[in-house]
Amino acid sequence: MSDYREVETTEHEQGREQRVATFKVTQLIWLLLGILEALIALRVVFKLIGVNAANPFASLLYNVTEIFVAPFASLIGAPAAGGMVLEISSILAMFIYLLIGWALERIVYVLFYRPRGPVSVRQTTIAEHTPQQAPPGVSQTTTTDRITTQAPTGTSQTTTTERTNTPPDSR
């Protein structure tokens, strides 16, 4: 007696691709915001501990972050002692960029996110059995299609179709 069984499951959900794209865009916004916040925070720490501005790394960091800190530079004075400076304007810039990034992420989410819709799951089972009483070479194939549709509310509807195929007698 030989048995063969194959199960194939496919799932389809409307709007899934758009939800994935929205998720990726919002994650990209958070990533870019995190990089900008880290660079400005590093600038604040470098200025606070008095890092040599002639150092190539410090110079690069100051030049890159200057573009983002410049609009806030003249809002608040920067207390200084010796070579150390507390750039309150940079801290203010970090806070404002955080608010802008959060608002941008929320706008993308609200405009493009689609709630989860009904999920359609199709499961096809193919089973081939050779009955014990059947002559050699005669087999029976049973194919079962089960389609389940599940709504977001938790309700589901299942449709099952079963077909049995026995090859014609080859005498």
- Please write the tens of the pLDDT for every residue from 32-79: 999 999 999 999 999 999 999 999 999 999 999 999 999 998 888 888
Among 74-83, 115-124, 144-153, which is the least confidently predicted range?
A: 144-153
Distance of CA 10 to the CA centre of its chain: 21
**Residue burial 7-30, b: 16+ Cβ < 10 Å; e: rest:** eeeeeeeeeeeebeebeeebeebe
* Predicted structure pTM score: 0.65
Q: What proportion of the chain, given as a percentage, has pLDDT over 70?
A: 71
Could you tell me which residues come within 8 angstroms of residue 64 by beta carbon, excluding any fewer than 6 positions away?
A: 39
pLDDT for 3-36, tens place per residue? 667 777 777 777 788 888 999 999 999 999 999 9
Q: Is 57 exposed, middle or buried (0-12, 13-18, 19+ CB in 10 A)?
A: exposed
Place of tokens 């195929």: 165
Q: What is the pLDDT of residue 94?
A: 96
β partners of residue 121: 11, 148
- Closest Cα to residue 146, out of 128, 127, 121? 121
